[in-house]
Chains A and B, each alone.
Chain A
Amino acid sequence: MRLLLVEDDRLLADGLTGQLEKAGFSIDWTGTAREAVSFGKHDDYRAVVLDLGLPDGSGLEVLKTWRANQINVPVLILTARGDWQDKVNGLKAGADDYLAKPFQTEELIARLNAIIRRSEGRVQSLLKAGGFELDENRQSLRLPDGSEHSLTGTEFRLLRCLMSRPGQVFSKEQLMEQLYNLNDTPSDNVIEAYIRRLRKLVGPESILTRRGQGYLFNEAV
C-alpha cells in the first residue's frame, strides 16, 4: 500500500518511514507544502499522513487544495496543537482523522488502517434536490448560496430520507426508523423537533407538512 508522508522534521520522518514500512506500507516522503500539492495528484496513494506545520505553508491549505481538486484520498493530520477548534477546522477542511504530537506509532498505524478501511468502496456521492446538495461522505449540506452546514447523524439521515424522493410523503413512522434514540419509544415530538431544526436550514417551504400523513421534501422552491 503506497502512502504519502508530509512531514518537515527529518528525524521524525525517517523514524516514521522505517516503522510504517515495517507495517507493510511503501512510503513517499516530502517536507514542503508545494511538493505535497503536486504529489497528491498521483492517484495511487491509499492514504496520506499530513503535518500541519510546514515550512512553506499550512498543511490545511494543502488539504483544501486537494479536496477542491476532487482528490479524495483519506488523510490523517498530525499537529502539535491539540486545540478543539483546530481539530474541527482540520476535519472541516477535509481530513478524516487527527493525531496530536507526540503520538505512539502503533496508534498511528491503527488509525491509518481504520481510515483506509472506511474509505474502501467510498464513492463521491452527492444527493441533489431543489438546489441543495447533501454530501454523504462529509455528512454536510450545501445550501444554494454555497454555504456548507455540518449535520448531526440523525439530522443527516432524516434529510437524506426526505431528499432521496422529493415530493413523496414519508409518514412519521417511516421517519422514526431513521432515528436512533436512547428511549425505546421515541415520541412524535422528537421527529417534529428535528423537522423544525432542518427547516431552519433549508427554509420552511422546502419541507412541507401533510396533516395526518407526514412530511415531504419540496424541490420546487
Chain B
Amino acid sequence: MKLFSKPSSVKGTLLALLLPAGIGLMALAWVVHGLLLDRMSRDFVESRLKDEVAFLEHQIRQAGGAVDSLNTGDYFQEVFHHAFAIRSPSETLISPSAWQPLLAPLLTMDSEGSVRIQGAEFSGAPSDILAYRKAFMVDGTPIVVIVSEDFGALKRSQTELHAWTAVVSVLLILLLVGVIWIGINLAMRPVVSIKGALTRLQDGEISRIGVRAPEEFRPLVQQLNQLLDSLDHRLERSRDALANLSHSVKTPISALRQILEDTERPLDASLRQQMASRLSDIDTQLEAEMRRSRFAGPQVGKSANPLTQARDLLWMLGRLYPDKSFELASSLPEDCRWAIEEHDLNEILGNLLDNAGKWSDSFVELSLEEVSGKPWISVIDDGPGVPEQELAKLGQRGVRLDEQTPGHGLGLAIVQDIVGRYGGRLGFAARTPAGLHVQVTL
C-alpha cells in the first residue's frame, strides 16, 4: 500500500502540493501568533505590576516605613485594579481580603521579581495569578510589597482574540484555495486548448496543431507537427514509389502474357531469352524499390548498437565464406549506441561487408570508431581492388564494374543513398599492394 500515490495530472499535482502547504503555513502562523500574544501580554502585565510596586514603595518611603499610615482607602481602590500585600515587621496588609490565602505564602518567600501561580483552589480568589514581589528596607525596617493581577481574566480575553484570529485565518485559507484554484486553471488553459486541438486532430477536423502554445509547450507542438509532416511525407513517398513500381512492372507483365497467350507463336531460344530478361527487369525494379522504401533515414529516438550488429554480420559472412577471415577492430564500449536506425545500419554494414567478402582473397577487416563524436566505419579487403580511374564511378546507381558477380549492382548505390540521407560521406581508396578501402562517416 503506497502512502502517496502520485497524482497523474498537473492540476492534481499542484493542488496536492499547494493546498496542504497553504493550510500548514496558516496553521503555523496561527500558533506563532498565539505564543507571541501570550508573551506580550505577560510582559505588559508584568511591567505594570512593577510600576505599581515602585509606586507603593515610594508611598511607604514617604510615610517613613509606617505601613498602617498608608492611605488604603478610596484612592487605593482607584489607582489599583490589582490585589496587593504589604508586610512590615509590625503588620501585614492584604487587599482584597479574599486573596489572603494566595498572597500570604508569597510574603514569606525570599525570591524577588515576578511569580506565576496557577491552579490554586481558593474560593473567591482567582486560580491563575501573576504577582510581583519586592523587598526593601526603610530606615532599617524590612518591608515586602506584592502586587498581583488575575491572569485568568486576561487569558480569557486573549483566548477570544486568538479564536478570532483563527476564524480570520480559516477565511484567508479559503481565499488562498480559491486563488490557487483560479491560478491553476488559468495556467492550465493552454493545455486544455492543446488537448482540444489533439481531439480535433484525431477527428480529422484539422491536419496540424495551430494552437498558440505557451513557451513550455512550444517544442512539444513543434515535434508533433514535425512528426505529422514526416508521416505525410512518407505516405506521399511510398505512394509515388508504388505508382512508379506498378507502372514499370505492369508493362513487362503484359508483354509476357501477350507472348504466352499467342498459341501460334513458337517459343524459340531468343524469345525465351527475352522473356527471362523481362522478368529479371521486374525483379530488379522490385528489389530496388523495396530496399529504398525500407530505409528510414534519421529519426528521433532511433538508435542502434553497432557492435552487436557488426558481430552478427561478420559471423554470418564467416559462415558463408569459410575460407576467408572476417575481423572486427573497434575501441568502442560494448554498450555504445549510434543515432542511426537499426535497419539502415544493417544495410550499410551488410552491403559493404558482402562486397568485401565477394572480392577479398582471404581477409576482410571492419573498423568501427567514433571520430569527433561521429560514427566512422571502414572496411578493407585484400582483393584485387579497383583501378584508380574507376573509383569515382563506385556507388553510382546501376554501375557494375563486373558483370560476372551475382547481385544487382545495387549494394553500393544503396549505401550511398542511406549515407546521403544521414548527411554523411562515402569514400573509396585503393590499398597497397592490393585491395579496396571503403570509409563511411555519418
Contact = CB atoms under 8 A, between A and B. Distances in A.
A200 B362 CA distance: 27
Given A85-B343, A102-B283, A150-B311, A139 B327 contact: no
B327 A153 contact: yes
B363 A182 contact: yes
A175 B280 CA distance: 49
Interface string B317-332: 0111010011111000
Interface stretch (A31-39, A62-70, A90-98, A202-210): A90-98
Contacts of B343: 83, 85
A9 B329 CA distance: 44
A118 B320 CA distance: 11
A109 interface: no
B328 A88 contact: no
Contact of B313 (A84, A97, A154, A193): A84
Given A84-B346, A84-B350, A139-B315, A98 B320 contact: yes
Contacts of A96: 319
Interface in B285-328: 287, 290-291, 294, 311-316, 318-320, 322, 325-328
Main secondary structure of the interface of A (DSSP, over half): mixed
A180 B291 CA distance: 35
Nearest to A104: B406
Contacts, number: 68
A151 B328 CA distance: 10
A139 B316 contact: no
B311 A97 contact: no
Contact of A180 (B290, B325, B349, B380): B325
B334 interface: yes
Given A150-B311, A152-B326, A180-B362, A91 B316 contact: yes
Contacts of A91: 315-316, 319-320
A6 B350 CA distance: 27
Contacts of A138: 319
A2 B36 CA distance: 105
Nearest to B435: A182
Interface residues of B, number: 34
A214 to B, nearest CB: 21
Contact of B382 (A98, A182, A193, A200): A182
A107 B380 CA distance: 27
Given A82-B287, A153-B325, A88 B316 contact: yes
A97 B349 CA distance: 19
Given A84-B350, A153-B325, A153-B327, A182 B318 contact: no
A153 B325 CA distance: 6
B279 interface: yes
A217 B248 CA distance: 61
A87 interface: yes
Given A82-B287, A152-B318, A153-B326, A88 B312 contact: yes
Interface in A92-116: 92, 96-98, 102, 107
A63 to B, nearest CB: 14
Interface of A: 82-85, 87-88, 91-92, 96-98, 102, 107, 118, 138-140, 150-154, 180-182, 193, 200
Interface of B: 279-280, 283, 287, 290-291, 294, 311-316, 318-320, 322, 325-329, 334, 343, 346-347, 349-350, 362-363, 365, 380, 382, 406
15 contacts: A83-B294, A83-B346, A87-B350, A88-B313, A91-B316, A92-B312, A96-B319, A97-B320, A98-B320, A102-B280, A150-B316, A152-B311, A152-B325, A180-B363, A182-B363
